[in-house]
Amino acid sequence: MTTRILTGITTTGTPHLGNYAGAIRPAILASRDAAADSFYFLADYHALIKCDDPLRIQRSRLEIAATWLACGLDAERVTFYRQSDVPEIPELTWLLTCVTAKGLLNRAHAYKASVDKNVENGEDPDAGVTMGLYSYPVLMAADILMFNAHKVPVGRDQIQHVEMARDIAQRFNHLFGNGREFFTLPEAVIEESVATLPGLDGRKMSKSYDNTIPLFGSAKELKAAIARIVTDSRLPGEPKDPDNSHLFTLYQAFATAQQQADFRQELLDGLAWGDAKQRLFELLDNELGDARELYHQLITKPAELEDILQAGAAKARRIATPFLGELREAVGLRNFSSEVKSAAPTKKKSSKTARFASFREADGAFRFRFFAADGEELLLSRPLSNPKAIGSLTQRLIAGGPDALELREDEGDQFTLWLDDECIADSPRFESADALDAAMLRVREALATLVE
């Protein structure tokens, strides 16, 4: 079975060595897997959330496109496109926005961090918060769901957004699927082995810290950057500690096992820091030299880059255009030339509905169970102090509705229910991921029967 993998690159800056080791190099290697159908896009709509400098975004789009191609991305093998060249994505964003609960977006980490910072500074909670920042997870969901990606490689700070995409997909499938699963439920992939490089000062390499090593600067610029790497005061001839040297960590990310072993021994034998930096320069220059030359050729030929991206967009739209047509049909945005059907009669509510049942443990603690209409136990609460707490919690769950439920997978065979960053209930255990996903959907469907 072919696995569809999707990766987006926000166009707000110039790629540096940390981007290359942490994202670009592993993604390009993964794209060569015969079992992978890879989608790579320049997330320029996302860039508008973070940057209001048109020239910076324009330049960044050019630099990032050239970087990926120079590093070996095969545009014929993968689907490589700009987000803004696929108009179906913003239209899908609106369709998904209309089924996404505000409560879900209220929990997004980026939004909560902005609110917390404003409150800490004594400002209005939403000061400076744009709708772009607030609804960012819906646009990301559209990026993923438009192409029904199975796997989405992300950093840990983005896991929540992939989980939100799953929630939104489930909601849309439930409302409009009529037995069909329009959207595949995506899975976040965390590459534990991918290098996180230290910068010149030892902190994580980041433009925010101004401690980066340029990816495709000249050899002279590369050497000058490496010369600024902070080291300790040990003199030539004195043993160095490789395990506490971020210069050695940088070397490790690009060296073979034998090169690492040799360099480690040289440091232990007292290699001077200046000579060690020269070794790192030679290693990186050898790794990046050919790609650097190709990058500078591509930068001077923007029309060729444009042709490649337009071809990629056309390839992406061959999937997106008909699929969006199906989604428009599903939600009722249909052509008048097709058969116009009268609305189906409203179904009477079943006499049986889902229900909460509270009880008291032998130790005096109170709990509740949540049952589906057919009597299946879906959730068991954590111990609570009194019956009023149960009533308050269950009323809040009902008022929030199924879209606001925060369900989290736990250890792969169970999920938990959270409210205000506190776990309040657990599911039974399940034998498979599919059974777990189906149970999470049943919880939402069951709660929906209690919402007026």
What are the tens digits of pLDDT across the range 350-394?
Answer: 456 788 888 887 777 888 889 888 888 899 999 988 878 888 888
Give the confidence band of 334 by pLDDT, cuts at 50, 70, 90: confident
Residues 189, 157 share a domain? yes
The structural domain count of the chain equals 3
Region 118-137: mean pLDDT is: 95
Residues 312, 281 share a domain? no
Q: Which residues of 286-305 are buried (b: 16+ CB within 10 A; e: fewer)?
A: ebbeebbebbeebbeeeeeb
In a domain, 336, yes or no: no
> Lowest-pLDDT range, 90-99, 100-109, 393-402?
393-402
* Residue 155, marked binder: yes
In the block, which residue shows the tokens 């010149």?
Answer: 200
Residue 229, both tokens: 């790497």
Give the confidence band of 280 by pLDDT, cuts at 50, 70, 90: very high
| Cα–Cα dist 246/273, whole Å | 12
The per-residue pLDDT for 338 is 61
**pLDDT of 344 above 60:** no
Percent of the chain with pLDDT strictly greater than 90: 64
In a domain, 210, yes or no: no
Give the confidence band of 401 by pLDDT, cuts at 50, 70, 90: confident
Residues 97, 28 share a domain? yes
* Residue 199, marked binder: no
Q: Is the pTM of this model over 0.95?
A: no
The per-residue pLDDT for 139 is 97
Residues 187, 321 share a domain? yes
Region 228-233: mean pLDDT is: 94
Region 285-308: mean pLDDT is: 95
The per-residue pLDDT for 351 is 52
The per-residue pLDDT for 349 is 45
Region 197-220: mean pLDDT is: 89
**Among candidate residues 239, 261, 292, the one where a domain is terminated:** 292
In a domain, 343, yes or no: no
* Residue 143, marked binder: yes
Residues 82, 136 share a domain? yes
* Residue 207, marked binder: yes
Residues 399, 364 share a domain? yes
Backbone angles phi, psi at 366, to 5 degrees: -105, 145
* Residue 208, marked binder: yes
- Cα angle value 311/315/316 (rounded, 5°): 115
In a domain, 338, yes or no: no
In a domain, 431, yes or no: yes
In the block, which residue shows the tokens 């960053």?
Answer: 421
* Residue 279, marked binder: no
Residue 206, both tokens: 């980041």
Residues 162, 230 share a domain? no
> Lowest-pLDDT range, 95-104, 205-214, 309-318, 350-359?
350-359
The per-residue pLDDT for 375 is 80
* Residue 11, marked binder: yes
Residues 227, 184 share a domain? no
Tell me which residue range forms the domain holding 439.
Answer: 355-449
Q: What is the pLDDT of residues 81-98, one digit of tens each?
A: 999 999 999 999 999 999
Residues 128, 89 share a domain? yes
* Residue 157, marked binder: yes
The per-residue pLDDT for 64 is 94
- Coil, strand or helix: which one is 233? coil
Residues 327, 370 share a domain? no
Residues 165, 74 share a domain? yes
Output the domain CATH number for residue 247.
1.10.240.10
In a domain, 76, yes or no: yes
**pLDDT of 195 above 80:** no
Nearest in space to 384 (alpha carbons), one of 356, 406, 411? 356
* Residue 206, marked binder: yes
The per-residue pLDDT for 352 is 66
The per-residue pLDDT for 405 is 86
In a domain, 348, yes or no: no
The per-residue pLDDT for 348 is 46
The per-residue pLDDT for 89 is 98
Residues 29, 64 share a domain? yes
**C-alpha distance from residue 196 to each of 204, 246, 253 (Å):** 7, 11, 9
Burial class (CB in 10 A: 0-12, 13-18, 19+), 204: middle
* Residue 156, marked binder: yes
